[in-house]
Structure 1
Amino acid sequence: MYRPKVTIVTNTFPPYREALFNHWAESVDLRVVVCESIPPGRLWDPGKERSLSVERIPSIRLGQGGKSLIIPLALRRIVKDSDAVVIGGTWRTAAVSLKAARLARSLGKGVVWWSGDFDNYFYRERARDSKGWRLVLGAYQKFRKLFSYSVDTVLAYGQRAGEDVIKNFDIPAERVFWGTQIIYPGNLSPSDSLDQEKIEVLKVGPLGLFLGYLEERKGVCQLLDAVRLLDNPSHRVIIAGEGSMASEVARASKELPALMFVGYADPSLRTALFQVSDYLIVPSLYDPWSQAVSEAMTAGLPPAISSEVGAGDELVVDGDTGLVYPPGDAKALSDAMNRMVSNPDLMADMGNRARERVSAFNLEYAATAFQQAVEGAISLSKQRR
């Protein structure tokens, strides 16, 4: 039986998706092409045997730091040998995405747009306050429009991203599939070497957990303000993560008795934090999905999230599997946090329902969306020949 050759073109290999990629590789001949780098650590084992091919190709970097563009130099060879190409169309990979999509289209290959973007509070606020941001976002929307012309099908992170594509681009709903964000199993693996007594010291009262990158987009400023508004003096909040705001969080943890900062959380620490925490806090001003939501719900923790978290559309029903509040509102966030700990029975019930709801978002669920998008793209590419 013929196995379609599918290439995922990305700027970097996100190791937390390795389980998903390996599962996809069971049905197709899958190759992941990295145009930038594979980050050190981050659960990546370079010596591990894999059922998929991971290749890094030479690239040109335009610009510096997080605002740089990556242009690969060997796309033609890779695309020519594929039946379908899966491409992430984000601002960071704009040059890669557009070039790969047009090249694949010209060679008669299927093109799948792997999209997580949607209209969001973070972008809207910056566009309102800054002409520079308005110009950047306007250019990005034009890029997405150009990119969409070369797309056969869309593989969206979730419902929110899928609906955004249908609304803003001329892609029929029947060619848009969503459901690719699942947890990385290793993130919930206990470790025998972990000092459980040490981690239990954290459990001195009701405990909320923030787990993620420490960046402005993640709502870190609003979270710090919300901690200052907590009602219960024994209510504590742990922040685990790394990023550009780490020093600010560290300073705040010294000033606020309710706040603890533990830095980057490896898999064993993540597991321990899920075990001792009562609920998850996701104050993002924009988040395409949020792996932490899936992981926390799997561990039985109800999340308190802003309405700009992509996972909320499928996973978080306000008052049933978690709490949802307006983005950027520190008072509304503190109210949600206070509500969590003021009603332990409700919090426990929401945690149980959260675990049940997220169980359907598994590898098979994600594999189905991937297979439908790829098969649809290959079928449409054949009709164009």
Structure 2
Amino acid sequence: MRVLHFYKTYKPDSMGGVEELIGQICSGAAKQGVTSEVLTVSKDTSTVDFGDHIHYRAKLDFEIASSAFSIHALKRFTELARHADVIHYHFPWPFADMAHFLTRVRKPCLVTYHSDIVRQKFLLQFYKPLRDRFLASVDKIVATSPNYVETSEVLQRFRSKVEVIPIGLDPASYAAPSDEKLRYWRERAGEKFFLFVGNLRYYKGLHILLDALAGTDFRVVIVGAGPVEGELRQQAARLKLGNVDFVGPVGDDDKIALLTLCHALTFPSHLRSEAFGISLLEGAMFGKALISAEIGTGTSYVNVDGQTGVVVPPSDPQALREAMGRIWGDDALAGRLGHNAKLRFQNLFTAQQMASAYVQLYRQLTVKE
């Protein structure tokens, strides 16, 4: 069986949560005899061979409101789709909706619905008819958590064709960190610290985290870069936060060392643009207590309040400060929550489980065809 994934970007051009999900599906499906190819648009049109799947890149022509468009991709999509048994779209990307209809490819298809469109409310009014026609035309829609299905008006509209397949990670792909890295971060971050990992974007709620830290002695390491980094650094300076370390983007060895050493993981995303939270899942995989906000998405599927961590109201620095204080001051509580988080990860969120569910769905679609 051959599956074609179609999305606006992928590794090595970008390293976000959707990219990680696609990679985990491709690698996991390969172990079950499924050949996967990924088509994206990029300024770099070279092909990347990951060993168990291939990434093709069509020339990027222009972008509108963070959505990439490519005339070249229409031809490339048609060529690759001709040899595919299943087309796997990843939403949201309006150009994929257009390509679906313009190329008139007639193959079994599904879409993984990663997020509602939250920020572009004005442009959304013009896009809605195309979006709804696209979602009505695909065979299956996959949501990454039952929480998101229940709180998304769009998914409720197409509920009869929605299935839930949670995002999964492969612990074997997280190699043990070197002693040198562990020693470096232990010396830099201290023996006890909270960790945040992610792109520094508007919906990550880091401004709320910084407000919560004012007047406390909680140490926090913030890993990542992004468009609001400058604003966050200015806020930290204004609040005179000497207990926050912006370390920028780091390599896998450094990230794994920090996940190994941290006391707990804090994830203050406050808007629905945060549909799941891969780094929250990484924290669970490493057996760490989790702190997140209730935004009606997959974050509260990964982190169950009182079981794997603490869930607080969104945009509430005081509630976040109190949650951090509970976990900071009670090592036994942090250990118990972290243990439960790891068990929940093992039961629900492994890459093997995710890949098997997708492969089963691919086969259902082809048999149906």
Question: Given the two structures, how large is their TM-score scaled by the length of structure 1?
Answer: 0.81
* 1:16 equivalent in structure 2: 20
Which residue of 41, 50, 75 maps to 1:35?
A: 41
* 2:115 equivalent in structure 1: 117
* 1:258 equivalent in structure 2: 243
* 1:293 equivalent in structure 2: 280
Instruction: State the distance in 2 between where 1:294 and 1:82 align.
Output: 31
Q: Is the 8 A contact 2:97 2:134 kept in 1?
A: yes
* 1:344 equivalent in structure 2: 331
Q: How far has the Cα of 1:159 moved from its partner?
A: 2.2
* 1:331 equivalent in structure 2: 318
Cα offsets for 1:119-177 (capped at 9, x unmatched):
8xxx3xx6xxxxxx5323333444421211211011222223444377532341xx422
Q: Is the 8 A contact 1:208 1:237 kept in 2?
A: yes
Secondary structure of 2:7's aligned partner: strand
Instruction: State the distance in 2 between where 1:16 and 1:185 align.
Output: 13
Instruction: State the distance in 2 between where 1:329 and 1:267 align.
Output: 31
Instruction: Flag structure 1 segments of 5+ consecutive residues without an equivalent.
Output: 127-132
Distance 1:324-1:189 versus aligned 2 partners, 3 A rule: same
Instruction: Flag structure 2 segments of 5+ consecutive residues without an equivalent.
Output: 12-18
Q: Is the 8 A contact 2:45 2:59 kept in 1?
A: no
Which residue of 357, 363, 368 maps to 1:375?
A: 363
Instruction: State the distance in 2 between where 1:187 and 1:336 align.
Output: 31
Distance 1:6-1:49 versus aligned 2 partners, 3 A rule: closer
Say if 2:163 is the partner of 1:177: yes
Instruction: State the distance in 2 between where 1:39 and 1:359 align.
Output: 38
* Matched ranges for 1:73-88 at <5 A: 73-74=74-75, 75-88=77-90
* 1:130 equivalent in structure 2: none
* 1:89 equivalent in structure 2: 91
Instruction: State the distance in 2 between where 1:37 and 1:160 align.
Output: 36
Query: How many corresponding residue pairs?
Result: 352
Q: Aligned residues: percent identity?
A: 21
Q: How far has the Cα of 1:13 moved from its partner?
A: 1.6
Cα offsets for 1:62-95 (capped at 9, x unmatched):
447x3544452312222222221011120xx202
* 2:352 equivalent in structure 1: 364
Q: How far has the Cα of 1:252 moved from its partner?
A: 4.5
Secondary structure of 2:61's aligned partner: strand
Instruction: State the distance in 1 between where 2:141 and 2:61 align.
Output: 27
* 2:208 equivalent in structure 1: 222
Residue 109 of structure 1 aligns with an amino acid whose one-letter code is K
* 2:176 equivalent in structure 1: 190
* 2:14 equivalent in structure 1: none
Distance 1:215-1:170 versus aligned 2 partners, 3 A rule: closer
Secondary structure of 1:271's aligned partner: helix
Instruction: State the distance in 1 between where 2:358 and 2:102 align.
Output: 21
Q: How far has the Cα of 1:371 moved from its partner?
A: 2.0
Question: Given the two structures, how large is their TM-score scaled by the length of structure 2?
Answer: 0.85
